[in-house]
Structure 1
């Protein structure tokens, strides 16, 4: 199959790679859309030690099920799905207790480091465990579904923050996750949302997405300004 392979830092090539192996508990997904994470950019330029070439990067993806392992009986061929970027073992105490993020054997799709190499979704197909696969509604476009992993980060941040109606929320950093967080905290009930960044274009986008106050971190004393705005 075809894949976009990081052959060396700052060099990626579309090339032929082996088809992924599909284990008894795995699902083979035909990738229809895959996002480019900031970590993929850092992998491309070599500024992270977690994407050592050769590697197929990419972990924000969605697609269609084209094959299932012998133990998978609850997901039909043709199902529209997305999947987690982290692959937990499913067997350790943490996994059995529902805390797969703490799994001692966890891996991340599209990452290669000193401990493991796990090819990602910059490819025609990818094999992932059924336990990290999630169905998509028919009405959700694949290019939108590829953002589910990123959106979940922002939604989780809003959920673990005790926001109630009338609160002011400050989002520091208006990159992709920050822009999603602006929307998530607004939906969670924050009456005033303050976005902080160093980039005017990002701040402008934050304003368009619901931020009430835009602060350039290099031009104002942010803590002092927040206290002024909130009466704190």
Structure 2
């Protein structure tokens, strides 16, 4: 969105007199309308076209950088969809890990951020071990650094304590496969079979791991 588009959509709109408009009102925001409005600007292909057609970008953005923009606009779109309406978190994570070097989306899909990660790292350093409370953010940090073995070790500790979140089990399966240890994933899956509730996500995961890594689902 450049200056011309901002002028177009704000034409006739009074200036804000409050940085947080409607914060004291009882009127609830129309989330559907907000999503539909935002969706038009986050659609990756349309947003990329607008970005490249901007006169400012044409003058300032190096030509050699333009070829790699598609993926970044796709990541931007996936984060918007996830935050507004939910998404397949592991499919998003797979996209970020295997096709980008970005940190922030990886942390976000694990419900973490740089502040939480720093706090967790400092907490763990003071404790001299890995407190259970810090583990989710430390796992997210290891993934953001693309240190899958470190993330696997943290997840194995979670397994030994008893998974408090079934998504940690799914993540460990995925990382085993991603690291080439499909046999470990196949050994782990049956051990947790009784706690797995079959749904669309599990069907998707079994199919994806089988197609991408040759994983054999339990049962």
Fold shared by both chains (TM-score > 0.5) = no
More helix by share: 2
Higher relative contact order (CA 8 A, sep 6+): 1
More strand by share: 1
Structure 2 length as normaliser, TM-score? 0.31
Structure 1 length as normaliser, TM-score? 0.30
In our comparison, the structure showing a higher alpha carbon Rg is: 2
